[in-house]
Structure 1
Amino acid sequence: MQRLPIFRRVAGGLALFGLMALAACGSERQAEPETKAEPILWEVVDDAGAVEGWLFGTIHALPDGVSWRTPLLEKTIEQADLLVVEVAGLDNGSELTDIFVSLAFDDPPGPLAERIDPALRSQYETLLTKAKVRSDHFDAMESWAAALTLAQVAQASKSENGVDRALIGDFEGREIVEIEGGERQLGIFDTLPEAEQRDLLNAIIAETREYDDDMGRLARTWSEGDGEALAKLTREGILADPELYEALLAGRNRAWTAQLENLFSTQSKPLIAVGAGHMFGPDGLPAMLEARGFTVRRIQ
């Protein structure tokens, strides 16, 4: 069984896992050459009106040909003292693969097919065919790990086009702060109760039926800077499940907000670049920072 290539693909898209419904915004159809994007950018100011930093909702994988570097974003990159990302070591595939493997195989509860809703098993077989693996390939994996791997099998967007990865390259020689890290990010999934892991597994398999159309739509929504549509998407798909919403979005955002508040107390001005789905709604980072006394205003 060819496990390692699939695991490396999962590790390569690691920052996807924080918000499956929004983070994997790519599609099998290539974008038109030089498709212009204008994704949302916010600035964070203190009560005296001084700029403390910036928030930028990213996409962890994109089709070819999307031009998202606007003049204002380029200026912000130049002005920022440091970059804050979910996972800094996106190019260290072997380390991320090791983390995934170390967590993915603890006490799996039986054959994966038996953990999948009977109505979805034919779609599961379709994914197995696409991955070119046998039906027992995922049996030794915990349900969350199988879910994330199947999501990567289904989507054909390119993590090498990911905005996070490009920004990390832009900040070479400057400080890069990892707000979560690969082990902690995967650990969130690993600690989900089995019932929630199965909800995640079944939801992801169900969504793969229209994955290409959905991912293309999400990429366009991000590129157009449609905040209203992106906010709506934070409550759809797997995030419509209250427990998964809390674990994968709201709880993480609370933890991040506490870290960001400490970071804003320093003299450095950070560019905070995390998955776009973390930016919207009452549990989004802008709303949480405003609740702590900051002013967050959209500038793009």
Structure 2
Amino acid sequence: MQMIRRWFSKLSFLPLFLGLAACQAEPPQSSGQTAPLAAEALTIPDDPDPALWVVKDEDTTIYLFGTIHILKPGLSWFDEAVKDAFDESEELVVEMIQPEPAEMVRTVNDLAIDKTGISLRDKLSAEERAKYEAAMTSLNLPVDSFDPFEPWFASVSMSLIPLMESGYTTGSGVEDALTSHAKAQNMKVVGLETPEQQLGFFDNLPEDVQIRFLNFNVETISEMPAGMENMIAHWSNANIGALAELMNAGLEDKIVYDTLLSGRNANWAKWVEDRMKEPGTVFMAVGAGHLAGQDSLQEQLKKRNITVKRVKY
């Protein structure tokens, strides 16, 4: 349990979990085919130029910027049009404002720990359990590490470990950097969701869906670093189509896709619509997966007759 308590202290893990999950949640396909999670690693430029969009009327401007929740140190993405738009803004909007450690522990205890007392591994078939235990061993974790938890928590935790081992740090993520800049400039910071809501997205999934999600991550755990490298490369080069294709690779469960991606985009589109009724300039930063694909935030805004334009730079 000591290892698990250390996980609780990583406050920036929550939006990352949702980002990883969204990257693996694709729209249902009639063919039943899924795209591979990872392909041959692409090159990440030292000076990324991620895509930026804007929504505006006569007295309100909202910039839309796709983030990567976890990065390796050293990428200089906060410059040019991105920095200009940020500096122009009076308000930063992110998926979630990080809570205090004690609050995060309480939330995880409430939602991630299985109250039935049934071990996670006892919920798996013999074949699933063998593969799960092999994956845990490959991560140098005791096979019983996540036994007290619900399947979704084991799944997203396992996804994070190989990335951390590959040199990624949550402290280098885009949200952390933007929040630090916002505090330095005395900007207002707003969260679209609460920690309880974000954990609740997973916690409310049916258990059989959680187990399928876990099994998928077990099968693809070794591909996670290469998949992340490709995601960051596409993000860095503003390759929106390729990013959408990669983000849509993975699970086919409609309930997961709707819960973690399309449903949240619809909620955020309503937030943007309401915010446009008030004057001011806003920098809205959400996971890059939400700004790519057929059910992206931009597409949801179009349904509300709100024009979204790409910022060229």
TM tier, shorter chain? 0.7 to 0.9
**Does 1:285 find its partner at 2:286?**
no
Q: Residues 7 and 149 of structure 1 are in contact (CA less than 8 Å); yes or no, is this contact kept in structure 2?
A: no
SS in 2 for 1:137: coil
Change (3 A) 1:286 1:205: same
Distance 2:204 2:121 in 1: 21
Which of 19, 41, 66 is the equivalent residue of 1:57? 66
Distance 2:137 2:297 in 1: 39
**Larger RCO, structure (CA 8 Å, separation 6 or more):** 2
**Does 1:153 find its partner at 2:154?**
no
Match of 1:163 in 2: 174
Which of 72, 84, 109 is the equivalent residue of 1:75? 84
Aligned-pair CA distance for 1:120: 5.2
* Matched residue type, 2:77: W
Aligned-pair CA distance for 1:22: 6.1
Q: How does 1:20-99 map to 2 (within 5 A)?
A: 20=20, 35-46=46-57, 52-89=61-98, 92-99=100-107
Change (3 A) 1:69 1:79: same
* Matched residue type, 1:124: Y
Which of 241, 245, 250 is the equivalent residue of 1:232? 245
Aligned-pair CA distance for 1:211: 1.5
How many residues in Structure 1 have an aligned counterpart in Structure 2?
289
* 1:134-156 C-alpha deviation (Å, 9 max, x unpaired): 32221211111121222222322
SS in 1 for 2:280: coil
Structure 2's unaligned 5+ residue stretches are: 25-40
Range 123-132 or range 151-160, more displaced: 123-132
Match of 1:5 in 2: 6
TM-score, structure 1 normalization: 0.87
TM-score, structure 2 normalization: 0.84
Change (3 A) 1:117 1:55: farther
Distance 1:119 1:36 in 2: 45
Match of 2:218 in 1: 205
Aligned-pair CA distance for 1:250: 0.7
* Matched residue type, 2:173: G
SS in 2 for 1:94: helix
Match of 2:19 in 1: 19
Aligned-pair CA distance for 1:175: 0.8
* 1:82-122 C-alpha deviation (Å, 9 max, x unpaired): 011011126x3332233122211133573323444655545
Structure 1's unaligned 5+ residue stretches are: none
* 1:161-211 C-alpha deviation (Å, 9 max, x unpaired): 010111111111111110012111001111111111112111122221211
Aligned-pair CA distance for 1:245: 0.5
